[in-house]
Amino acid sequence: MRAVQVQEYGGPEVLRTVETEVPEPGPGQVSVDVAYTGVNFADLKARGEGYRVPSLPFVPGLEVSGRVRALGEGVSGVEVGQEVAALTAGGAYADVVVTDATTVFPLPSGVDLRTAATLPTVLPTAYALVHAVGRLQPGETVLVQGAAGGIGTAVGQLAKAAGASGVFGVVSGAAKAKYALDHGYDDVFVVPSTTDSVQFVDEVRAATGGRGVDLALDPVGGETFRASLASLAVFGRLVSFGNASSAEPWRVGQPELYPTGLSVSGFSILTLAQTAPGALRALTEKAFTAVAEGVVSLPVTAEFPLEEASEAHRLMGGRTSTGKLLLRVA
């Protein structure tokens, strides 16, 4: 079978299509004939700097849609040939991927295989950020970094549906701002990647009458994490869920949190899949229901054949992508 492998860390050019053995599912696992693979920012971090990579060489990719090919020992509740969407712990840039049965899901009703590949990583993460971790209440305000990306697109719509009174986004360019405004955002602040990110703090204060936001969601880290914290209202909550800037791990303590009763929390879908698979499954089922009910949709803005995975990485790494990028496998 074909697989896109990384043999050395580097730019998009290190993604190479190779022929490999078809993997067989072990106990509790399922193999899937992949139809489409979703591209995630985490794939770029894995390729470039080894984020969550056990060793070289490796096949990146965290989410697929396709048909169940084979069941490992002890697996029930899913059938060979069934159309599914699955979160994987890597290996999804391939014709066949093996994953734990706990992260394999039936397609939400009315959703085809192409759309299903956009869901397994983004939707449960966005749902957790708004609800389980962010605990957004009707009437509250939200600030989202990377508002036009995969997560950002889903979060804007979910926050609006949860009754947010103001959904504010931060993006790196004007075209992204227009896209985000079309997907649930009330106002979007443009902070070019070359600009000091602290700039958005003043814009958030101005947009909220000086109050700040109740919930800020930060996948960037470093200065942006600090600026997100500075954008919070009294009793505000910040959820950290990534480190796109590759900054040193953040630290917060009493000086930042005590004065206005702030909270900082975190979320990682890949870690949750290992530590609490039942909780992740419940979260994913709720998130997929929101898709089936039309509360949220995630537009595919570009699709590439598997062999051209490097082009998808160039697009996302160049900070010009919006919505969701897919690899067409079958």
Residues that bind ligand NAP (CB under 6 A): 40-42, 121-122, 125, 146, 148-152, 171-172, 176, 219-220, 241-242, 244-245, 267-269, 316-317, 319, 321
* Residue 166 one-letter amino acid: G
* Nearest to ligand NAP of 31, 284 (CB atom): 284
* Nearest to ligand NAP of 69, 160 (CB atom): 160
CB 142 within 8 A of CB 168: yes
* Nearest to ligand NAP of 106, 173 (CB atom): 173
CB 143 within 8 A of CB 215: yes
Within 13 Å and on the Cβ side, how many CA atoms surround 94? 25
Terminal-residue alpha carbon distance, the chain: 11
DSSP 8-class letter at 58: B
Q: Cβ 72 to ligand NAP, closest distance in Å?
A: 25
Q: Cβ 46 to ligand NAP, closest distance in Å?
A: 10
The Cα–Cα gap between 156 and 162 comes to 10
* Nearest to ligand NAP of 115, 121 (CB atom): 121
Instruction: Give the DSSP letter string of 130-190.
Output: IIITT---TT-EEEEETTTSHHHHHHHHHHHHTT-SEEEEEESSHHHHHHHHTTT-SEEEE
* Nearest to ligand NAP of 31, 118 (CB atom): 118
CB 31 within 8 A of CB 69: yes
Q: Cβ 163 to ligand NAP, closest distance in Å?
A: 23
* Nearest to ligand NAP of 40, 208 (CB atom): 40
* Nearest to ligand NAP of 61, 146 (CB atom): 146
Q: Cβ 237 to ligand NAP, closest distance in Å?
A: 16
Q: Cβ 50 to ligand NAP, closest distance in Å?
A: 14
Q: Cβ 4 to ligand NAP, closest distance in Å?
A: 17
The Cα–Cα gap between 329 and 66 comes to 9
Q: Cβ 312 to ligand NAP, closest distance in Å?
A: 11
**C-alpha to C-alpha distances, 159 to 7, 156, 184, 295, 324, nearest whole angstrom:** 40, 5, 8, 10, 18
Q: Cβ 45 to ligand NAP, closest distance in Å?
A: 7
* Residue nearest to ligand NAP according to CB distances in the complex: 149
* Nearest to ligand NAP of 84, 269 (CB atom): 269
In the chain, count of helices (H) and strands (E)?
11, 15
Tell me the three state secondary structure of residue 61. Answer: coil
